Structure 1
């Protein structure tokens, strides 16, 4: 069995309340050996930590999602930060953070400010940054440009962009592109784009419960389905599944350096 790492899964959300334990078992049975769990906002931290406390192969991350930014974002962001600075838990990344202008541009400036603050958390605590970006590449790159020569590392989560987008993001040499079930969709342009992306810059993710790969598209996603993403990459890169598993695992551990000694 090929060992895989799901670098982005939300198994702690309410969509899994009926069978969370079984979903974890199915992931392990499928060969997914590490599950990295990005937080969403101040309302989700406890559920995430509870799941991660129960399984030593689940790694919590802390952050404030851009679509949660509202008029009270400063106070809510501070609540999240207290888990990082004052809590007993160890975190393995800052995420899920970023900018999302797809649904609503009302809090554009506030999203940018929240993102930049969390970029600095990543630098201050030497943690990888898990970046969500939707319809906001100009804003994202405007902020990141100032940090290009720093030690910032991380993942551009759920990458679905063009060859040009990939080229711009890959200029950040300590970042990987997170590839999920979208790559299996019939009309996805990702397979062609990835032919211009070295496998050494790719990590696997599910983003469960969202973006289930074919043949599960339209249903709830879960970490066990990561195998379908890896199989599609095997087809795209023309190499055995075992090599996809080995390289993407190596890539993930370059990002999550503080988990290497956990195994």
Structure 2
């Protein structure tokens, strides 16, 4: 049994075959997933999908690339949706310094607002980070995000930052890049992160793992991520599947597990 903790089957790339894609994931032992909504289009779809499937949940937040488009109305909307029984996290949120649509100060402001909202509604947060690690850690520390914790989504940074994330009650989630032949950092993280803080994800339709790199990713492929981590840690696939799934249950407070 596997838990894909970050997937976008609400994306347009799945409009024509979403149900088949989800069924394929179930057939491959991916029994649980969190569908992440990050703007006006994807948030309602994330909840709609979660309502259709017993073992699929949703996260709602605002992506940093589009931070400039987030107004008070959007923040209030996300707060309202956070009470939905299938919503288990706020996000994805964070900072993205690769794209320049939203100025950095605007991104930081929106990031802080969403952290405060998550603390208000007592829900974990999902962090998007692209080329902004030190600023993200600083903001999380300043906003005392440790109160709710969450996920460092698709972690692809140096091992040196892992401890700071762990100290703030965050899990480290690994995706397709851990399977790439030239990706040393996620492999090092996969080996060193404590087992009780490890999660797996796809971020589908993006970042498909080897040997599907460059193709559309899908939640069934999270099995390839788990298999690679098991190989790196010299553990069985079954052990990695169980520990990462149990970690997700604990983080999100589902399947009878109280949220830690």
Taking structure 1 as the reference length, the TM-score comes to 0.91
Matched length: 256
CA distance in 2, matches of 1:115, 1:25: 34
Note if contact 1:175-1:255 (Cα within 8 Å) is conserved in structure 2: no
Task: State the partner residue of 1:93.
Answer: 89
Mark the CA change 1:79 to 1:152 in structure 2 (over 3 Å): closer, same or farther: closer
Deviates more, 1:155-164 or 1:139-148: 139-148
* Counterpart mapping for 1:64-143 below 5 A: 64-70=62-68, 72-75=69-72, 77-78=74-75, 80-81=77-78, 83-84=80-81, 90-104=86-100, 106-143=102-139
Note if contact 1:133-1:140 (Cα within 8 Å) is conserved in structure 2: yes
Shift of 1:88: 5.5
Mark the CA change 1:193 to 1:261 in structure 2 (over 3 Å): closer, same or farther: closer
Which segments of 5 or more consecutive residues in structure 2 lack a partner in the other structure? none
Task: State the partner residue of 2:190.
Answer: 194
Task: State the partner residue of 1:230.
Answer: 226
Mark the CA change 1:149 to 1:104 in structure 2 (over 3 Å): closer, same or farther: closer
Task: State the partner residue of 1:22.
Answer: 20
Task: State the partner residue of 2:172.
Answer: 177
CA distance in 2, matches of 1:193, 1:88: 34
3-state SS, counterpart of residue 7 of structure 2 = coil
Mark the CA change 1:261 to 1:167 in structure 2 (over 3 Å): closer, same or farther: closer
Note if contact 1:166-1:197 (Cα within 8 Å) is conserved in structure 2: yes
Note if contact 2:150-2:170 (Cα within 8 Å) is conserved in structure 1: yes
Shift of 1:75: 4.4
Note if contact 2:89-2:125 (Cα within 8 Å) is conserved in structure 1: yes
3-state SS, counterpart of residue 192 of structure 2 = coil
Taking structure 2 as the reference length, the TM-score comes to 0.92
Q: CA RMSD in A?
A: 1.9
CA distance in 2, matches of 1:209, 1:68: 19
Which segments of 5 or more consecutive residues in structure 1 lack a partner in the other structure? none
Mark the CA change 1:102 to 1:252 in structure 2 (over 3 Å): closer, same or farther: same
Task: State the partner residue of 1:216.
Answer: 212
CA distance in 1, matches of 2:215, 2:231: 23
Which of 156, 161, 166 matches 1:165?
161
3-state SS, counterpart of residue 244 of structure 1 = helix
| 1:3-24 Cα distance to aligned partner (Å, 9 max, x none) | 0000000001110111111101
Shift of 1:146: 2.3
Larger strand share, 1 or 2: 2
Task: State the partner residue of 1:56.
Answer: 54
CA distance in 1, matches of 2:46, 2:203: 14
